[in-house]
């Protein structure tokens, strides 16, 4: 019997959640995601991309997109 529960790989996060986790404005999170060519669907990104975005946004070099 197949599970009806979504797997962790199916999790998505909003740009607002990503921005909050990184401590940056939403516009900065969106700009960084677009610059990195991260697929965004209705302001949501998949788990692996969200993790990478938060890490990148917290890194010192991302401050140029503020």
Label residue 44 exposed, middle or buried (CB < 10 Å: 0-12, 13-18, 19+): middle
- Which residues, other chains included, contact 40 with Cβ-Cβ below 8 Å and sequence gap of 6+? 15, 30, 33, 34
**Higher pLDDT residue, 5 or 17?**
17
- Taking only the tens place, the pLDDT of each residue in 10-66 is 899 999 999 999 999 999 999 999 999 999 999 999 999 999 999 999 987 655 555
Q: Report pLDDT for 2.
A: 54
pTM confidence score:
0.77
């Amino acid at each position: 019997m197949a599970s009806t529960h979504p797997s962790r790989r199916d999790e998505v996060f909003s740009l607002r959640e990503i921005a909050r986790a990184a401590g940056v404005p939403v516009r900065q999170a969106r700009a960084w995601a677009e610059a990195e060519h991260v697929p965004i669907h209705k302001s949501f990104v998949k788990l692996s991309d969200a993790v990478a975005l938060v890490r990148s946004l917290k890194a010192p070099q991302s401050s140029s997109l503020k």
